[in-house]
Amino acid sequence: MELLLLGRRTVWPDLMEVRQILEVAAAELAARRRTPEDLATLQVALEQMAAALTDAEAFAEWDVAFHHRLVRAAHNPILDIVTHPIGELLRASRLAVLNPERHHLSQTLLEEHRAIYLAVERQDPAAAAEAMRRHLAHVAATMWRKLGQYEPGGKENHGPEDQRAGT
């Protein structure tokens, strides 16, 4: 969370890279390992997201909850430990791009989450991974348009303050 507080422009591209690495794998594992209880908790998150389409803050909270529940459905405690701390950044990133006037974006995000859920429900790991990949690509593109800090497919828009090798 220090990166966010320091205001580094690289926090969003870095977050998206980490999400691609961890959440695509989590979706795939969840499709293989999910239980009926996991599906029930994911369904509750989807229902709450649908109820909060015009409330950006509530939608962001349930969006993060869906992703946390998906990671838990992977039944890998290390993955759960590793992904849990980025929840604050996930919430902040969602609030940066959502607002009540953009409920059509919330509707699109909800549909993407439903696609992930349906692939997990039918125990299709490849489809779950692909649905997560598409969702994260859409999120990255939306962040890039809104924040001007993330180029879909790369980290080309780092500011001059980020002079790390390899970026």
Q: What is the mean pLDDT of the chain?
A: 81
Does the pLDDT of residue 43 top 80, yes or no?
yes
pLDDT reported for residue 11: 74
- Structure-derived torsion over alpha carbons of residues 95, 45, 115, 101, reported in degrees to the nearest 10: -30
Q: CA end-to-end span of the chain, whole Å?
A: 20
Average pLDDT over residues 69-88: 91
Q: Which domains does the chain have, with CATH numbers?
A: 10-147 (1.20.120.530)
Does the pLDDT of residue 152 top 60, yes or no?
no
pLDDT reported for residue 102: 59
How far apart CA 138 and CA 75 sit, in angstroms, is 26
- Structure-derived torsion over alpha carbons of residues 146, 148, 153, 156, reported in degrees to the nearest 10: -170
State if pTM tops 0.85: no
Does the pLDDT of residue 159 top 60, yes or no?
no
